[in-house]
């Protein structure tokens, strides 16, 4: 049996690194079948190269992983592959499918909404032992989270329960990832409910953590691959102090503490002096907070909490400074009630309290979010649909903003462009200083030799392959 994963990318994506999703899906299949499964994963933006690999590899199952910008590519690949062979079973998953369940085209046989490991395994279980002449019988109705076609109608099965014990997923099979991938996940989901965020839609506000032992194993695996700098990709890393203490303990015992440096994401409500101390001890160099805006009323509303405040954001930044951790923040701009005065407050906040100042992310409306519903009520328009078209440059700064896509009642698209430029200009020197500080921290850390090797390696690899295109070796499960 052969599975080929394709990370469907668009020419506007800033990086094509292979998503960890494929390594989790593969890791979960490991050891569950008697016969060998051959797996390959590719992440490139050249259709003819992709089709050549499909023809050479001859997969039984084609797994497409896709974000919204890459979905046009996913559709194109599915159509072309079906022209090569109707027998190849095409399965799609990823954030786009989870958010836009009904966007599946007939060439995609199955799609999976939400957490993929168990559903993908269920599907493979029915496909796997068949010889080409056997008829495929899949109890589709019974597989929660499965999306499929029946008599030309798209059937969307409700999503099932999440996997309870996250450690049961097993470790991601990193053989399929770019060797420069230094990301690890220690949890899934986020308990908060920011009105603009798709995490509550994807993970339904559940929050599950891997054990300290699991996290330690991940850190060790990455360290063995010479990743002396690692990035916790969790939506919210700054939360459980007991687990952090345990991870630190395990690293101490293994003489690994201080040799690895980390970056993480945080929220100021879950941040205090003790958390700052623990992160420092773990050797977290930088925490990226969702500071978002500098106006208290808007902040409380969009972060959907009475407990967050600009003051708390300020305190989190100051605590980081006190303990020698860099504090950066994501900036958002263009909420309905945001006017010139509020944007200037954000500007002042970021100038003073964030180590980085990039162009703000223009607020984008994701399906299923409270913001989508609110705007439907107030304007009668479905901005998630409108924004799906402009989402292509969704990591913010340069997303084209037009009269049609603008949700601010007080700022025009011209104002937004003007402010984008203002933030960008003010950030040029600030961001350079930030890199010098970060580099300095790596230079003076315990793992200096490996850090220097690491930085050089990343520099060379990204110089030669800036978008990190990747064709993995064929691995055997």
**Binding residues vs ligand B12 (CB under 6 A):** 7, 9, 13-17, 19-21, 24-25, 63-65, 67-70, 91-96, 98-99, 112, 115-117, 120, 183, 185, 198-199, 233, 235, 393-395
Q: Which of 114, 172, 200, 447 binds ligand SF4 (CB under 6 A)?
A: 200
Largest CA distance in the chain: 69
Taking the CA atoms of 358, 364, 367 and 368 in sequence, report the sign of the dihedral they define: positive
Q: Does 190 bind ligand SF4 (CB under 6 A)?
A: yes
Least CB distance to ligand B12 at residue 296 (A) = 24
Choose the contact partner of 266 out of ligand B12, ligand SF4, none; CB within 5 to 8 A by kind: none
Token pair, residue 343, equals 């944007």
Whose Cβ is closer to ligand B12: residue 181's or residue 445's?
A: 181
Q: Does 287 bind ligand SF4 (CB under 6 A)?
A: no
Least CB distance to ligand SF4 at residue 207 (A) = 9
Size of the chain in residues: 477
Least CB distance to ligand B12 at residue 352 (A) = 27
Stretch that binds ligand SF4, among 173-181, 190-198, 254-262, 404-412 (CB under 6 A): 190-198
The CA-to-CA distance between both ends of the chain, in Å, stands at 10
Q: Which residues contact 143 (CB under 8 A, 6 or more apart)?
A: 119, 122, 123, 157
Are 18 and 472 contacting, i.e. CB atoms less than 8 angstroms apart?
yes
- How many C-beta atoms surround the C-beta of residue 401 within 10 A? 23
Least CB distance to ligand B12 at residue 228 (A) = 19
Scanning the structure block, which residue is given the tokens 């399929």? Answer: 176
Token pair, residue 328, equals 């950066």
Q: Does 401 bind ligand SF4 (CB under 6 A)?
A: no
Whose Cβ is closer to ligand B12: residue 9's or residue 320's?
A: 9
Site for ligand SF4 in 443-472 (CB under 6 A): none
Least CB distance to ligand SF4 at residue 167 (A) = 22
Report the distance separating Cα 249 and Cα 241, nearest Å. 12
Which helix (H) or strand (E) element contains residue 352?
Answer: helix 340-353
Whose Cβ is closer to ligand B12: residue 67's or residue 445's?
A: 67
Q: Does 235 bind ligand SF4 (CB under 6 A)?
A: yes
Q: Does 1 bind ligand SF4 (CB under 6 A)?
A: no
Q: Which of 18, 42, 197, 391 binds ligand SF4 (CB under 6 A)?
A: 197
Report the distance separating Cα 243 and Cα 466, nearest Å. 36
Token pair, residue 173, equals 């099979």
- How many C-beta atoms surround the C-beta of residue 182 within 10 A? 21
| Nearest in space to 15 (alpha carbons), one of 335, 210, 231 | 231
Rg (CA), the chain: 23
Q: Does 192 bind ligand SF4 (CB under 6 A)?
A: yes
Stretch that binds ligand SF4, among 76-84, 102-110, 193-201, 335-343 (CB under 6 A): 193-201
Choose the contact partner of 361 out of ligand B12, ligand SF4, none; CB within 5 to 8 A by kind: none
Report the distance separating Cα 279 and Cα 322, nearest Å. 12
Scanning the structure block, which residue is given the tokens 């580099």? Answer: 439
Stretch that binds ligand SF4, among 89-97, 195-203, 211-219, 316-324 (CB under 6 A): 195-203
Q: Give the interface with ligand SF4 as residue ranges (CB under 6 A).
A: 190, 192-194, 197, 199-200, 235-236, 267, 290
């Amino acid at each position: 049996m052969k599975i080929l994963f394709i990370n469907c990318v668009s020419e506007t994506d800033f990086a094509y690194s292979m998503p960890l999703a494929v390594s989790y899906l593969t890791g979960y299949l490991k050891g569950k079948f008697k016969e060998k499964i051959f797996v390959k994963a590719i992440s490139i933006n050249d259709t003819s190269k992709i089709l050549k690999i499909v023809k050479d590899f001859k997969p039984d199952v084609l797994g497409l992983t896709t974000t919204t910008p890459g979905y046009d590519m996913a559709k194109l690949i599915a159509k072309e592959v079906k022209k090569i062979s109707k027998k190849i079973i095409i399965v799609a998953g990823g954030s786009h499918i989870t958010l836009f369940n009904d966007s599946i085209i007939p060439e995609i046989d199955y799609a999976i909404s939400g957490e993929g490991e168990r559903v993908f395994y269920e599907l493979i279980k029915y496909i796997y032992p068949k010889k080409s002449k056997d008829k495929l019988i899949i109890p589709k109705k019974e597989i929660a989270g499965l999306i499929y076609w029946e008599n030309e109608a798209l059937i969307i099965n409700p999503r099932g329960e999440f996997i309870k014990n996250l450690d049961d997923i097993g470790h991601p099979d990193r053989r399929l990832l770019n060797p420069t991938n230094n990301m690890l996940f220690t949890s899934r989901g986020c308990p908060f409910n920011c009105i603009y965020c798709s995490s509550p839609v994807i993970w339904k506000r559940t929050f599950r953590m891997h054990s300290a032992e699991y996290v330690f194993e991940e850190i060790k695996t990455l360290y063995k691959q010479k990743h002396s700098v690692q990035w916790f990709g969790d939506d919210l890393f700054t939360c459980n102090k007991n687990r952090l203490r345990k991870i630190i303990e395990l690293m101490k015992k293994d003489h690994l503490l201080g040799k690895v440096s980390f970056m993480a994401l945080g929220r100021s409500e879950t941040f205090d002096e003790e958390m700052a101390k623990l992160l420092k001890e773990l050797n977290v160099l930088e925490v990226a907070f969702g500071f978002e805006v500098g106006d208290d009323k808007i902040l409380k509303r969009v972060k959907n909490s009475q407990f967050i405040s600009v003051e708390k954001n300020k305190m989190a930044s100051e605590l980081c400074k006190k303990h020698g951790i860099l504090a950066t923040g994501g900036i958002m701009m263009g909420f309905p009630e945001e006017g010139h005065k509020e944007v200037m407050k954000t500007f002042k906040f970021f100038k003073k309290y964030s180590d980085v100042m990039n162009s703000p992310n223009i607020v984008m409306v994701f399906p299923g979010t409270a913001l989508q519903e609110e705007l439907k009520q107030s304007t009668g328009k479905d901005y998630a649909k409108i924004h799906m078209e402009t989402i292509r440059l969704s990591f913010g700064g340069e997303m084209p903003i037009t009269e049609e896509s603008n949700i601010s009642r007080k700022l025009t698209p011209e104002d937004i462009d003007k402010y984008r430029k203002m933030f960008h200009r003010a950030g040029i020197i600030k961001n350079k200083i930030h890199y010098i500080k970060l580099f300095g921290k790596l230079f003076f850390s315990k793992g200096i030799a490996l850090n220097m090797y690491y930085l050089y390696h990343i520099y060379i690899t990204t110089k030669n392959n800036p978008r990190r295109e990747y064709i993995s070796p064929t691995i055997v499960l």
